[in-house]
Amino acid sequence: MRIVLAALVAIAGIGCVAEDSEPQQVEKEYGFPTDGSCPAPAGKLTLYAIAPPIPLDWSSPNALLQGVMDSRAAGDAMIAAGDAVMKRSIGHINLELECDDLSIKMTGQTGGGAEWVAATDGAGLLLRDTPGAMDDMPTGDLIDTPKDIAAREASGKVKLISFVVSRPMCKRLKEFYTEYVESGAFKHYNGSFRARRMEGAGCAIFGAGMVDVGGLLRRSLFTPEWARSVMIGSARIADFLGDGKYKYGGNLVARGADGTHWVWPKNVDVPVSNTTPVYIFSDVLDSWSGPEDTEFNVPGLTGEMRTKLPFTIYDPEMMANWAESVWQAAQQHGVATSLGAQWTASTVGNAHEVVFDASCVKPQSLAFTADNDDLFEDSDAPMDR
């Protein structure tokens, strides 16, 4: 049972909150040249994308849970072989910024610690707010994180996504990291929270958020490649012995198979009608939705969203797989074009690294919390409201 509960907690933050505040509407400048020239390269942002030991099956909540349990066993085997120090059963994203006095040491959002409720939440475990920390904190994985990355670089069990950046970009990235930590957002490990809004995050959500706030890549391009979307039927979500709702998170968004963008109403908590437990491996969790689902008690919902909750989560497995495909293309052709950028291939030990020279990219000046509600739109795209 301990293994099952650990798997549940891992799933809850697979995408690894401060008080709500009104978006800051003041745009900031970071000293980028105004004469059309590019500043000199000053540093390097690296995302360390760790895929789970085995691919995870997202066809249903039960399939996902079973995959995480199997992945934990495979992670133990990796550690025994010396290929890793941490099992990372759902994968993980670490990041590091090397930029002189603006550097960010190797870190990442991590967390967990609500095993007893996770077993009764059904798919609600994806929405559960659990205690969080940064990997570079004593309460996180301060000691094991650099050891794990070193072992994975030697074994090739990590993919590096790197951006050569200017000093103005370093200022933007460091400012975001500092505000995220000082706001206490890191204390909230949750798959539905949006990092740039200081709500909290999961590991990949935080990593993708760093790319987003810098404007290093367009969000409308990287979200479809790096994130999974599901529509979770109301009957699959429980909050046994809770207060009957899950706190709103900025990642309650999904893109349907027909291309429809579903965006949950902003700042509206998710009401839960299930007052009885939805246990792990219950039959209802054999699918993400079905005829058992009833309408959410939220006025104004339309279409599928009347009975299904949109949910999008950035996924370390997808990010690692994307990096490997780009690396292979760059190895073959010298350069690869993806997500609107030109990537070259290199290696760090036995690990594959893709590199984008983003030193000419002007830092995004949009206030962190003022981004578009739809994750499938660029963060600085105008909102239809």
159: helix, strand or coil: strand
Give pLDDT, residue 383.
84
Q: Using an 8 Å Cβ cutoff, are 382 and 267 in contact?
A: no
CA 91 to CA 54: how far, in whole Å? 9
Which residues make beta-bridge pairs with 130? 189
Nearest-10 Cα torsion for 352, 357, 359, 364: -80
- 286 CB-contact burial (10 Å; exposed 0-12 / middle 13-18 / buried 19+): middle
CA atoms of 130 and 13, how far apart (whole Å): 8
**Which pLDDT does position 24 carry in this prediction?**
40
- pLDDT the model gives residue 242: 84
* Tens of pLDDT, residues 226-261: 999 999 999 999 998 788 999 999 999 999 888 899
At residue 113, the pLDDT reads 54
Greatest C-alpha distance within the chain: 63
**Confidence (pTM):** 0.92
For the chain, the domains span 2-20+32-368
Residue segments in the chain with a per-residue pLDDT below the cut of 50: 1-5, 8-9, 15, 17-26, 116
Residues, the chain, total? 385
